[in-house]
């Protein structure tokens, strides 16, 4: 049975139809793209799935293939006809080109000489064109245009325009560029062009100088209008130093006359419409008169400096020219200013006014020195009148001091200041007060203080000494202390007086020592201790005990000590009248304190001597009942 089944299987496998079916069944259509595409194309051919359609499928496909081939053949036939037409045209064109090539070869052979000549002429034309460009560039760089020449020559009215400076700069540039030509083979052309440009330059500078000179002559108003063209002209004239200097001189002359006229008008006419009023109207007031003139001069100098700076703002190294011309411009007002100030100084007698004028001149000298140079005539003139005012002031002080010494007032009964001293100190206060109010430099102030104090204080002290020469010692000391005290009180209010105050304090100390000694001697004399104190001081020269001397016995000493004890109960009762006349509270206290110290020292010596056993005083404790410390405590 098994063999039978095996035979059936073998027969099925050998059957072609079975193999085909098995192959079809085993086929995987999902992975066979060609089969899918074929089936898709077949679906378009087979309209319906019928038996007839399936039987006629092959014939239908063959018919369809035949139809497609026929259509392709028909279309290709049209293409072939068109290709044949194109071929005919190309062949005709090829024949034509061949014919033209033959003709061109023939023409080229016939015109070869003409072509060579044409090429040569073309090259020559290019060379000539290049030379023309070079010549044009040369002329552009080394020759002036007609417009520039006309501008340099100028119009008949002599007016100057801004283009003139461009043309002048162009000439200068050409003249400078010619130096390059001199280094090449074109030296002749370079020299000729340089000569021509030099003539143009000289002509241009000459015209520029004449125009600048005329413009400067017109600048005579109070506020000159300096145009930008004039500034450019001054800048251009720097290449000709002589013409530049002449132009500046012309400007300086015009401005100098304008400044002098303005100064005279300010003195006599005043401002426009009478405001401000003429300065001469205040000639009776020396300070205002001089101050107004100095203020006008300062303003004029500052204004002229601004005008010059505007004129020379485009120029190099303008400072030197500015200072020189500013000094020349302001020099014109020196003489009228100096004459008027000298008249004021000579006619003035008041020392304070002279000193105020001196400080005013110093202030304006320092102020104007910041505008004009130190060598200018204006600054020199101000310095001269300031020196004169300085001399006049100290001459006035010296005259006042001489009058003090010529007529010395006697001291008053209260030993206070004399009228001369009071007046002189008031004068000194006025002088130093106006000096403090001035704005001169500190060094000048210090030097002036030194001179003023020497000129006033020394004669004043000499006058006080001469006035006190007929007084006794106590009155002289008190009087001198009062005089010096007033002088110190005056000087203490001002600066730079420390040295002089120290000198006065030393003199006061000497007088205070004298007064203290007199006060102590007065007390000892009134209580009867003068003889005792004298013996105590001379005990080294005395042989034997002091108690044996006349006037040094116990009873006499004890009596004197009792009087001294009464003095201790009321110290003010034995004060010198002169001490109460001292003006300074501090000086009075100093005199009192030092005199007490002298009295205590004297009592100490007497106490120590009496308590010494060698002087054989019986019961010394009863003789001098108070110790030095007790005395000092009672008098303090």
DSSP tag of 278? P
- For residue 597, the tally of other CB atoms under 10 A from its CB is 15
Separation between Cα atoms, residue 398 and residue 459, nearest integer Å: 9
End-to-end CA distance of the chain: 173
Chain centroid, CA 258 distance in Å: 31
Please report the sign of the dihedral spanned by the C-alpha atoms of residue 540, residue 546, residue 548, residue 550: positive
CA distances to 136, 174, 191, 239, 380 from 180, in Å: 18, 10, 11, 21, 53
pLDDT tens, position by position, 110-136? 888 888 888 888 888 888 888 777 666
Token output for 368:
């104007």
User: Which pLDDT belongs to residue 1?
Assistant: 45
429 Cβ partners below 8 Å, 6+ apart? 490, 493
pLDDT tens-digit map of 238-275: 888 899 999 999 999 999 999 999 999 999 988 777 78
The token pair that represents 400 in the structure block: 């006042």
Mean pLDDT score of the chain: 84
- Average pLDDT of the residues in 364-371: 92
Of the ranges 42-51, 85-94, 298-307, 350-359, which one carries the lowest mean pLDDT score? 42-51
- How confident is the model over 463-513, as pLDDT tens digits? 999 988 888 999 999 999 999 999 999 988 888 888 889 999 999 999 999
Comparing CA positions, the residue from 177, 189, 182 lying closest to residue 135 is 189
pLDDT in tens, 36-64: 777 676 666 666 667 777 677 778 788 88
**CB 465, CB 480: distance < 8 Å:** yes
Quote the pLDDT of residue 200: 80
The residue-averaged pLDDT of 580-605 equals 90
Give the chain's length.
Answer: 636
Of 2-16, 315-329, 482-496, where does the model show the most confidence?
482-496
pLDDT value of position 496: 82
Closest CA to 631 of 505, 514, 529: 529
Residue 129 structure tokens = 């064109």
Quick one: pLDDT at residue 286?
93
How is residue 312 annotated by DSSP? Answer: T
pLDDT of residue 515: 92
CA atoms within 13 A on the CB side of 514: 17
Mean pLDDT of 404-425: 88
Q: CA torsion 293→298→303→309, rounded to 10°?
A: 150
Name the strand (E) or helix (H) holding 175.
Answer: helix 162-182
Give the CA-trace dihedral at 397, 403, 405, 406, to 10 degrees: 160
How far is the CA of 556 from the CAs of 449, 527, 550, 605, in angstroms? 60, 11, 9, 17
The torsion of the CA quartet 417, 423, 424, 428, rounded to 10 degrees, works out to 120
Q: Are 591 and 519 in contact (CB under 8 A)?
A: yes
Q: Quote the tokens at residue 310.
A: 């505007």
180 pLDDT above the threshold of 70: no
How far apart are alpha carbons 478 and 515 in whole angstroms?
A: 7
Percent of the chain scored above 70 by pLDDT? 88
- The per-residue pLDDT for range 541-574, each reduced to its tens digit, is 776 677 777 778 888 888 888 888 888 888 888 8
Mean pLDDT of 576-588: 89
Dihedral pair phi/psi, residue 337, rounded to 5°? -65, -45
* Structure letter (DSSP) for residue 216: H
Greatest mean pLDDT among 267-281, 369-383, 607-621 lies in 369-383
Alpha helices in 438-573 (DSSP H): 442-467, 473-491, 498-526, 530-537, 554-569
CA quadruple 49, 50, 56, 58: dihedral positive or negative? positive
Q: Say which residue, 317 or 521, is predicted with more confidence.
A: 521
- Span 425-429, average pLDDT: 89
Report the chain's C-alpha Rg in angstroms: 66
pLDDT at 190 over 70: no
- The pLDDT value recorded for residue 2 is 47
Q: What is the pLDDT of residues 166-177, one digit of tens each?
A: 888 777 777 676
Q: Which token pair is 306? A: 């601004």
pLDDT at 4 over 60: no
Closest CA to 296 of 304, 308, 285: 304
221-231 pLDDT tens trace: 888 989 999 99
Mean per-residue pLDDT, 514-533:
88
Task: List the single range of 94-108, 260-274, 434-448, 501-515 with lowest mean pLDDT.
Answer: 434-448
pLDDT at 387 over 90: yes
């Amino acid at each position: 049975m098994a063999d039978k089944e095996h035979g059936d299987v073998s027969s099925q496998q050998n059957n072609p139809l079975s193999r085909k079916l098995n192959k079809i069944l085993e086929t995987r259509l999902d992975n066979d793209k060609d089969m899918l595409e074929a089936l898709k194309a077949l679906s378009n051919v087979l309209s319906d799935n019928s038996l007839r359609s399936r039987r006629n499928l092959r014939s239908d496909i063959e018919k369809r293939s035949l139809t497609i081939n026929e259509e392709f053949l028909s279309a290709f036939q049209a293409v072939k006809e068109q290709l044949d037409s194109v071929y005919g045209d190309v062949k005709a064109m090829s024949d034509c080109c061949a014919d033209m090539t033959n003709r061109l070869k023939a023409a080229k052979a016939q015109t070869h000489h003409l072509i060579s000549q044409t090429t040569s002429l073309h090259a020559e034309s290019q060379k000539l064109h290049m030379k023309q460009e070079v010549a044009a560039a040369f002329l552009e760089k080394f020759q002036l245009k007609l417009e520039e020449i006309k501008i340099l020559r100028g119009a008949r009215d002599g007016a100057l325009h801004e283009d003139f400076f461009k043309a002048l700069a162009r000439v200068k540039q050409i003249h400078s560029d010619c130096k390059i030509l001199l280094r090449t083979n074109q030296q002749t052309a370079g020299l000729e062009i340089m000569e021509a440009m030099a003539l143009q330059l000289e002509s241009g500078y000459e015209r520029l100088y004449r125009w600048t000179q005329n413009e400067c002559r017109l600048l005579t108003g109070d506020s000159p209008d300096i145009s930008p063209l004039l500034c450019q002209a001054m800048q251009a004239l720097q290449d000709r130093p002589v013409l530049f200097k002449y132009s500046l001189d012309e400007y300086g002359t015009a401005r100098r006359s304008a400044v002098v006229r303005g100064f005279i008008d300010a003195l006599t006419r005043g401002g426009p419409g009478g405001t401000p009023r003429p300065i001469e109207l205040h000639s009776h007031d020396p300070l205002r008169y001089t101050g107004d003139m100095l203020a006008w001069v300062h303003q004029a100098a500052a204004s002229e400096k601004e005008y010059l700076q505007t004129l020379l703002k485009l120029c190099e190294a303008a400072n030197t020219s500015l200072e020189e011309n500013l000094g020349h411009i302001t020099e014109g007002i020196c003489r009228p200013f100096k004459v008027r100030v000298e008249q004021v100084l000579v006619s003035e007698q008041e020392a304070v006014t002279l000193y105020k004028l001196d400080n005013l001149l110093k202030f304006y000298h320092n102020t104007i020195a910041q505008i004009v140079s130190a060598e200018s005539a204006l600054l020199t003139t101000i310095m001269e009148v300031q020196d004169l005012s300085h001399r006049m002031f100290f001459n006035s002080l010296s005259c006042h001091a001489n009058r003090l010494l010529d007529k010395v007032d006697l001291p008053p009964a209260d030993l206070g200041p004399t009228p001369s001293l009071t007046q002189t100190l008031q004068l000194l206060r006025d002088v130093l007060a106006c000096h403090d109010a001035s704005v001169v430099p500190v060094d000048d102030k210090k030097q002036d203080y030194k001179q003023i104090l020497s000129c006033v204080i020394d004669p004043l002290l000499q006058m006080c000494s001469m006035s006190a020469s007929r007084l006794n010692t106590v009155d002289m000391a008190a009087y001198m202390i009062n005089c010096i005290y007033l002088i110190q009180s005056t000087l203490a209010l001002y600066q730079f007086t420390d040295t002089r105050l120290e000198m006065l304090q030393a003199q006061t100390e000497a007088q205070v020592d004298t007064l203290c000694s007199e006060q102590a001697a007065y007390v000892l004399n009134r209580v009867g201790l003068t003889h005792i104190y004298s013996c105590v001081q001379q005990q080294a020269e005395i042989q034997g005990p002091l108690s044996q001397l006349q006037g040094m016995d116990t009873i006499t000493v004890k009596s004197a000590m009792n009087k001294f004890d009464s003095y201790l109960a009321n110290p003010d009762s034995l004060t010198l009248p002169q001490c109460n006349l001292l003006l300074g509270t501090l000086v009075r206290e100093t005199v009192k304190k030092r005199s007490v110290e002298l009295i205590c020292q004297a009592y100490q010596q007497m106490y120590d001597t009496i308590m010494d056993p060698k002087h054989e005083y019986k019961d010394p404790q009863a003789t001098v009942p108070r110790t030095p410390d007790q005395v000092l405590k009672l008098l303090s």
